[in-house]
Structure 1
Amino acid sequence: MYSYIIIGAGLFGATFANLAHKAGKKVLVIERRNHIAGNCYTENIEGINVHKYGAHIFHTSNKIVWDFVNSFTPFNRYTNSPIAKSKGNYYNLPFNMNTFYQIWKTATPEEAKAKMEEQKADILKLLNGREPANLEEQALSIVGRDIFEILIKEYTEKQWGRNCNDLPASIIKRIPVRYTFDNNYFNDLYQGIPSNGYTELVTKMLEGIEIRLNTNFFDHRSELENIAEKIIYTGPIDEFFNFCHGALDYRSLRFETEILDTDNFQGNAVINYIDANIPYTRIIEHKHFEFGNQPKTIITREYPQKWELNKERYYPINDQENNALYEKYKALAGQKTNVIFGGRLAEYKYYDMDDVIEQAMILFHTCNQ
């Protein structure tokens, strides 16, 4: 018997497995893919750590989480400072004094704040004290019409495949706005990327633990459920219950990666492409995550696409209908005494990486009080 069989070798599963192993528990990790590390998996190509499932920048203000990940591998000092390209012009992100100057030519915080209040006046009058009902109203109430039209609307509709007024306001509630010339996207105390890639991080987290790759839990379900005291399930919650209430909806992605015979393609790790007529949302140049000086470079174009059952799930669509459906599955999950559900797919929730690790820590300590 195993103390825990953990379904999924991403950050949630790896964190729980590591803590359980250190506590002397017998652990087995099951992973349907041919590699560990989930969506933060990196593969070394041409001496460059390529983020195979999109850009992953680790950031947190939780020192316990930061010390935990740094105990396995050193992190570099990478600071996330993406650029947006709209109608042939380049803009700094997040929205800050550089962005405001690029759009309005405002030179001081006072000028920028006055312009922002002017931009927001119409929507605030329309809302008349009520909460924004959709993403468009939410964005307009935060940054006003110009920034919404130039940097948000087309990109968001391309990313989600829906009109902004058909998307929940929650998607954009935490959009950062700064009245400083600071291009650091995150406000967290700690930020960086594992110096040798995320795969090495997770490899070290899982040292000494039995792992079965290329193994679909559902193909071996009866066997696995009979040899575990507890199952930690990090997969899609609707699939666990055989989609009995229907499938939860997601947004998926397709990646197109290319090796280029040049040492520097775009001069930044991430550039967002706002315009609707450009089919991809961003280009990632992987070497810049690690300040690389290799003779070649590798880029990845990221194409949003409709999710179907044979595609990877990336972003949950947390609208009213899907959240209500999730609650039905959550109720079923609550009836399972030997299965614990955790992580973004099992909880139908978008998590940053530090939040995933923190939640796995909390779950482990809850299970082992």
Structure 2
Amino acid sequence: MKKYDYLIVGAGLFGAVFACEMTKTGKKCLVIDKRDHIAGNIYCENIEGINVHKYGAHIFHTSNKEVWDYVNQFAEFNNYINSPVARYKDELYNLPFNMNTFSKMFHIVTPAEARAKIQAEIEELGITEPKNLEEQALSLVGRSVYEKLIKGYTEKQWGRDCKELPAFIIKRLPLRFIYDNNYFNDRFQGIPMGGYTAIVEKMLEGSDILLNTDYYEFRKENPDIAAKTVYTGMLDQYFDYKYGVLEYRSVRFETEKLDMENYQGNAVVNYTEREVPYTRIIEHKHFEYGTQPVTVISREYPSEWKLGEEPYYPVNNDKNEEVAQKYRELADKEETVIFGGRLGEYRYYDMDKVIEVALKVVEREKGNLK
């Protein structure tokens, strides 16, 4: 007799949604995680009343009303709008690229003037077939926007010169000819009041949880603990790197508490110069309009990833996609294992997409139980 219906590997968003929905149907779930906390990369640590996004800024946004309604069962969301600021030397620009950006950069006031200025820069360069990311970006936005706001940031993000990066990384660069600093175009947006960890806590009510638990060790000692496994760890690791190691970019965070009320006046400030080693500074209290007498900031340093380190962003180039596809084909043949989430599928997912996919997997699983 199996002790659980599902062993869920990873207490992040995918695993938590699955556990939440299947426990409602009377199924018994055991959720394990190698970290010492639940909630995966959306985990928030409370420091002096400030919910600190431990693994980088997470801003919930979606155009899917079903997902928005779903997540609102677990928390009340505030009306935070993501409006990052880019800092190039001592110049500050609004993001995404919009009329506030262009008026400051080109000293113009109308959309027609902004279009003309950018178009003139593009035509002057005469790039017809971009051979790399630099040429692709220049052919889309011209030299001024590229050199101040894209080049240094992108090179830090990828750890490569823009001339060495493939053109397809930047398929398009949205230019908005309106005065609008709202980064996302989605209908719904906000931050859960009280942070993300509380959402996952509610989702995992009714499940058993084991933290500080390595799946591979646990599996050796408990081979028959559950009828099925939901696996949200690294796809290639599950198959013992049979076709090689999939690549990621990683991020290192330096977080510090400062004895001041307000450090930068915005939740997100991007540093677009190559010479500044971090890509951005997050000031966490601004996500929830905090009024605490102190503040907490995190500097983000993109880094090369090596096996054994924390994987963040799948490197979705042709080479990795080809290898990942082989692993996905193996995964499809595993009858008692469901693979899901960013690592389990080797896909970059925003939070709303993780929930959307997890709910579809739940529906399919419920169908199989009938």
Structure 2 counterpart of 1:75? 77
Residue aligned with 1:340, SS? strand
Deviations 1:240-265 (A, max 9, x none): 11112221111111111111110001
Aligned to 1:235: 233
Aligned residue for 1:153?
151
- Structure 1 residues 143 and 60: alpha-carbon distance in aligned structure 2, compared to 1, 3 A threshold: same
Q: Summarize the Cα distance change of 1:167–1:21 in structure 2 as closer, same or farther, 3 Å threshold.
A: farther
C-alpha displacement of 1:83: 0.5
CA contact (8 A) 1:5 1:224 kept: no
Q: What letter matches 2:118 in structure 1?
A: M
Which of 201, 218, 221 aligns to 2:219? It is 221
2 CA distance for matches of 1:135 and 1:16?
Answer: 39
**2:114 equivalent in structure 1:** 112
1:50 aligned partner:
52
Q: Distance in 2 between matches of 1:303 and 1:36?
A: 24
* Aligned AA (1:88): D
> What is aligned with 1:22?
24
Shift of 1:289: 0.5
Task: Give the partner amino acid of 2:93.
Answer: Y
Counterpart-to-counterpart distance in 2, 1:240 and 1:296:
43
CA contact (8 A) 1:40 1:51 kept: yes
Runs of 4+ in structure 1 over 4 Å off: 122-125
In structure 1, the partner of 2:347 is 349
> Which segments of 5 or more consecutive residues in structure 2 lack a partner in the other structure?
none
1:258 aligns with 2:256: yes
Q: What aligned pairs does 1:273-292 form with structure 2 within 5 A after superposition? A: 273-292=271-290
Deviations 1:152-192 (A, max 9, x none): 01110111101223334444335432111110100101100
**1:125–1:167 distance in 2 versus 1, CA, 3 Å:** closer
Of the candidates 292, 297, 308, which is equivalent to residue 310 of structure 1?
308
Query: In the alignment, what sits opposite 2:33?
Result: 31
Aligned to 1:64: 66
Q: Is the 8 A contact 1:77 1:193 kept in 2?
A: yes
Residue 335 (structure 1) shift: 2.1
CA distance in 2, matches of 1:85, 1:351: 27
CA distance in 2, matches of 1:174, 1:80: 20
Residues in 1 aligned to 2:25 and 2:44: alpha-carbon distance in whole angstroms: 28
- The equivalent of 1:269 in structure 2 is 267
State the alpha-carbon separation in 1 of the partners of residues 181 and 94 from structure 2. Answer: 7
Q: 1:164 and 1:252 mapped to 2: Cα distance?
A: 18
**Aligned residue type for 1:367:** E
**Aligned equivalents of 1:3 and 1:303: distance in 2?**
41
Partner of 1:98 in structure 2? 100
The answer as to whether partners of 1:167 and 1:319 remain within 8 angstroms in 2 is no
- Check the 8 A contact 2:44/2:196 in 1, yes or no: yes
Amino acid paired to 1:90? L
Gaps of 5+ in 1: none
Distance 1:108 1:297, change over 3 A: same
Partner of 1:368, secondary structure, is: helix
User: For 2:36, what is the secondary structure of its paired residue?
Assistant: coil
User: Which residue number in structure 1 is paired with residue 189 of structure 2?
Assistant: 191
Q: Which amino acid is 2:41 matched to?
A: N
**Alignment deviations for residues 113-147 of structure 1 (CA, whole Å, 9 cap, x no partner):** 222222333567522xxxx5543343233322221
Give the alignment of 1:156-171 within 5 angstroms: 156-171=154-169
CA 1:74–1:168: 2 relative to 1, 3 Å: farther
Distance 1:134 1:360 in 2: 36
Deviations 1:328-362 (A, max 9, x none): 21222122111111111111111111011101111
Q: Does the CA contact (< 8 Å) of 2:140 and 2:172 recur in 1?
A: no
- TM (norm. structure 2) is 0.95
CA distance in 2, matches of 1:365, 1:120: 49
Partner of 1:339: 337
Q: 1:90, CA displacement in angstroms?
A: 0.6
Question: How far off is 1:53 after superposition?
Answer: 0.6
